[in-house]
Amino acid sequence: MTVESHLDELELVVPSPVQEIHDERLERHGVRLLLKRDDLIHPEIPGNKWRKLKYNLKDAEAAGQTKLLTFGGAYSNHIRAVAAAGYYFGFETVGVIRGEEHLPHNPTLAYATTRDMTLAYIDRDRYRIKTSDEVLGPLQERFGEFFLVPEGGSNAAAVRGVAELPAEIDFPYDVLCAPVGTGGTLAGLAYAVPSGVRVLGFSSLKGGAFLADDVRGLQGVAGQVTDNWDLQLDYHFGGFARRPAELREFAQDFEVRHGVDLELTYVAKMLAGIVDMASTRQFPSGSVIVAVVTGPPDA
Ligand SMILES: *Cc1c(COP(=O)(O)O)cnc(C)c1O
C-alpha cells in the first residue's frame, strides 16, 4: 500500500468547507468573517497537522523509510497526529517526549499508544539540542533507521502542504488569519496567498517575537521568503499553556452565537484577537477576513 492509496481510502475532507460567521461585533465595523474549517479534515489527523504531514509522509515513502520519529511535549497535538498518520498510512512511529514519563499517561500519550506509537523520553537539556548528533545518534542505535519529522512537523514539506490551502478559497478576500505555534502554518499560507492578500499570524506564545525569524527561516528552506505577512503578538492570553477565564468565556459565547466549539490553545485566541482588532477598528470597513480553524477542540 502506498501513501496515495491510503489517501483514497481515508476520505479526508479536502478541500475543507468555508463557513460565514455573522457576528454583530464585526458587522458593525463593516468586517466580514469566514472560517476555513480545516478542523473537519479528519478526526484524528485534523487541520494544519494533516497539511503539514502530507508531504512528510510522501517524502518518507520516497526515501524508502517505514518508521517516523518525531519530537514533542507531553500534550502535543503534533505527537497525536503523527501517531494517527503512522497508523492510517502504514508507518511505525516513535514519539520522543520532552521530560520524564508520568504514569498513567495523559490523554495525548494514551491516545498515541493506542495508535501503536512507541514513546521515548529525553530530559529538557537534551531536548534543547534534539537535532544534534549527540541526541540523534543514540536514538538511531535504539530505533534503527527512521525518517525524522521535526517538532511541530514544520519543515519545507510542511510549508508545501500548507501552501495548498489558499487555492481552496474561491472568492476574493483581504486578510487570511491563522494561529501560530512553530510558524510552519503561517509560512506556508504566506507562500501561497493571491497577491494583495495579507496573512496575519496570531502567536499563542508569550514573547513570540522570535517567531518572525522562524517563519522567514521556514520560507527560506521552502524556496522563497515573502513580506506579505505579520505576526500579532498581543493575544497569547498569558502564555502558551494558559486558558484564563476570559478566554474560556469568549469561546463559550462564540459557541452560543455561532454553534462552533473552539479549540482554546490556538483557535480561540486568534478569534478573540480578530474580534478585538475589529472593535478597535484595526481592519478597514469592507474587509473580508478568512480565519483558518487549524484544529478541533480538545477531546
Ligand atoms: C499545532 C497547532 C497550531 C500551530 O501551528 P504551527 O504551524 O506550529 O504554527 C495551530 N493550531 C492548532 C489547532 C494546532 O494543533
Task: Please give the distance, rounded to the nearest whole angstrom, from the Cα atom of residue 28 to the centre of ligand 1.
Answer: 30
Task: Please give the distance, rounded to the nearest whole angstrom, from the Cα atom of residue 48 to the centre of ligand 1.
Answer: 6
Q: Which of 76, 154, 203, 287 is catalytic?
A: 76
How confident is the model over 244-261, as pLDDT tens digits?
A: 999 999 999 999 999 999
Residue position matching grid coordinates 494544519: 48
Buried-exposed string 162-197: b where 16+ CB fall within 10 A, e elsewhere: bbebbeebeeebbbbbbbbbbbbbbbbbbbbbeeeb
Residue 268 pLDDT class (50, 70, 90 cuts): very high
Query: What is this structure's pTM?
Result: 0.96
CB 151 within 8 A of CB 49: no
Task: Please give the distance, rounded to the nearest whole angstrom, from the Cα atom of residue 266 to the centre of ligand 1.
Answer: 7
How confident is the model over 47-66, as pLDDT tens digits?
A: 999 999 999 999 999 999 99
Task: Please give the distance, rounded to the nearest whole angstrom, from the Cα atom of residue 218 to the centre of ligand 1.
Answer: 15
pLDDT at 18 over 90: yes
Residue 224 pLDDT class (50, 70, 90 cuts): very high
CB 122 within 8 A of CB 135: yes
Q: Which atom of ligand 1 is nearest to the CA of 180?
A: 9
Candidates 185, 205, 216, 236: which one to mutate for ligand 1, based on the most atoms within 8 Å of Cβ? 185
The total number of residues shown for the chain amounts to 299
**Nearest residue by C-alpha to atom 13 in ligand 1:** 295
Q: What average pLDDT score do residues 281-298 get? A: 97
Residue 202 pLDDT class (50, 70, 90 cuts): very high
pLDDT at 298: 82
Domains 3-43+155-292 and 66-145 share a fold: yes
* 76 part of the active site: yes
Task: Please give the distance, rounded to the nearest whole angstrom, from the Cα atom of residue 185 to the centre of ligand 1.
Answer: 7
Identify the CATH class of 66-145.
Answer: alpha beta
Cα–Cα distance for residue pair 156/52, rounded to 1 Å: 9
- Express as a percent the part of the chain with pLDDT over 90: 98
The ranges assigned to domains in the chain are 3-43+155-292, 66-145
pLDDT at 1: 84
Q: Which atom of ligand 1 is nearest to the CA of 81?
A: 15
Right CATH for 3-43+155-292 from 3.40.50.300, 2.40.110.10, 3.40.50.1100, 1.10.150.120: 3.40.50.1100
Looking at every residue in the chain, the average pLDDT score rounds to: 97
pLDDT at 287 over 80: yes
Pocket residues for ligand 1 (CB within 6 Å)?
A: 47-49, 77-78, 152, 154, 179-185, 263, 266-267, 294-295
pLDDT at 299 over 80: no
pLDDT at 187: 98
CB 153 within 8 A of CB 260: no
pLDDT at 292: 98
47 three-class SS: helix
